[in-house]
Amino acid sequence: MKYSAFYNIMPDGTVKQINPFTGNEVWAVPERASKPAQNKVQPPEPASLEGVDRGHICAFCSGRYLETAPEKFRYVREDGAWHRHDHLPADSYFATTAEFRCFANLFEIVTLDYWKQNYGYIPPPETLEQLRRHAATEAGLQHLRAVVEYKQAHRNRSNGNGKKNGATEEKPALSDDEILALSEPMYAGCHELIVARNHYHPDGTTEADLLSSGRLTPTEHYQYFKATIESLRRIVERNRYVRYVSVFQNWLKGAGASFDHLHKQLVGLDEWGASITRQVKMLKKDPNAFNEYAVNFAAMFNLVFAENEHAIAFVGIGHRFPTIEIFSKSRNARPWEHTPEELQGVSDLIHACHAATGAEISCNEEWYYSPIDAVVKMPWHVLIKWRIHVQAGFEGGTSIFLNPMTPVELRDRIVPRLYALRDEGTVRNVLIAEECHIAPNPLNYYR
């Protein structure tokens, strides 16, 4: 294998990279990360959380359950055990505290109307029955009305509607039947959120102490993954026209987050997208491509930095942003096909990578796996992309992307943090750096 076509360290230290799976050309130029930022604003000192009602910071918080779409399910921790509660009635929302909640995104990327008008999609009868049951109580109908009116108000503002002579134009109240019709996407749509309980870490003292993925416990992170995979599975089962579900997490504003409150998003799609399509084509030509061009490649350049029985982590090359890649070693190519032990291993390693990243760094978490209608198997893998710089005109004009950190620099930043986190018991089930076995072809998806 001639990896020099994809990875070259120039005499001056510039690292030229081409991602084998996307074709992106990336340069990491020495000293680029240290260039002065003349327009950088010094952030103010974070405010104290003393006296702050932590359950009412944003609409995702535990004291504001009724400001989001009706729940599809929640995970509750009771007496040390975890339980799932499905479709709770509105008047029961505050009877328990949800560690993780699943509900629809009010502002869908791919809307329910998209599925209806383009495919003639008819929601399953049980889905519409869940809506009717929620609306059958006074509390449930009020909940739906409040959420629908909130969504309509934002839609009107964004469209410039609802204004007359500088004042808000009064409109007649929506009927109950109209509320039910407008609530249908909250039950039958395919854009869902998995939202964590806390806005800030329970031990946090200032507004800088946000609860990130890495500040969950390993057990909490595992349940977070379970809830996400449960949502993924349900979307696929509910809509036969869905060919792929995009799963991602935007952490902090710099990564595209609307709320600085930990959550994942899932969006059902009727196509794979260009990235997955390209990777599937590679696999048709070479079923072992992900061992050869991902893990084996990384091992040859000492970029593998963490491993356990079920997953392996390394620094990726040819990414527009510094990127950590975590691959499942399982023969099972889709997240919902993993055994509990396999899922635990993947979750533990991803949790460790987030913990080593730190809550202060904006990042995207992106999931990749075999589409349900693919005839070749792609290993489930997750990319964590550090959004620590802004692309500019040079990239647009040349299609050469500047990454401020070389792969080795990213590895050397992560490894010491992992050792410290493991020593203090924050992360578990992880071998680090030289401890990794790194056997050739460790990914078993193709077997």
| pLDDT tens per residue, range 307-352 | 999 999 999 999 999 999 999 999 999 999 999 999 999 999 999 9
What digits encode the pLDDT tens for the residues 174-190? 999 999 999 999 999 99
Is it the case that residue 87 has pLDDT exceeding 70? yes
DSSP 92: G
The amino acid present at 199, given as its one-letter code, is: H
Query: Does the pLDDT value for residue 2 go beyond 70?
Result: yes
Amino acid 36: pLDDT: 44
d(CA 242, CA 188): 13
Provide CB contacts within 8 A for 397, sequence distance 6+: none
Q: Which amino acid is residue 301, in one-letter code?
A: F
Distance between CA atoms of residues 344 and 355, nearest Å: 16
Helices (H), ranges, 136-273: 138-159, 176-183, 185-188, 218-238
What's the gap between Cα 265 and its chain centre?
6
> Quick one: pLDDT band at residue 164, thresholds 50, 70, 90?
very low
C-alpha radius of gyration, the chain, whole number: 23
* Residue at 31: amino acid letter: E
Task: Write down the pLDDT at residue 52.
Answer: 95
Length of the chain, please? 447
Structure tokens at 185: 């996407």
Q: State how far the Cα of 444 lies from the Cα of 338, in Å rounded to an integer.
A: 13
Give the per-residue pLDDT at 30: 78
Element (H, E) at 388: none
DSSP per-residue letters across 72-112:
EEEEEEETTEEEEEES--GGGGGGS-EEEEEEE-SS-SS-H
Strands across the sheet containing 311-315: 81-86, 71-78, 98-104, 191-196, 263-269, 244-251, 363-368, 381-386, 323-328, 311-315, 304-307, 431-432
Nearest to 245 by CA among 181, 191, 283: 191
Q: Is 249 helix (H, G, I), strand (E, B) or coil?
A: strand
Q: How far is CA 443 from CA 291, 341, 365, 438, in A?
A: 6, 16, 21, 10
Task: Copy the structure tokens of residue 343.
Answer: 């899922």
Least confident of 45-49, 267-271, 389-393: 389-393
Average pLDDT over the chain, rounded to an integer: 94
Query: What is the bridge-based pairing of β-strands 25-28 and 400-402?
Result: parallel
Contact 315, 303 (CB under 8 A): yes
Nearest one of 266, 434, 420 to 352, comparing CA atoms: 420
Q: For residue 345, what are the β-bridge partners?
A: none
Q: Between these two residues, 201 and 157, which has the higher pLDDT value?
A: 201
CA distance 29 to 432: 27
The pLDDT of residue 100: 98
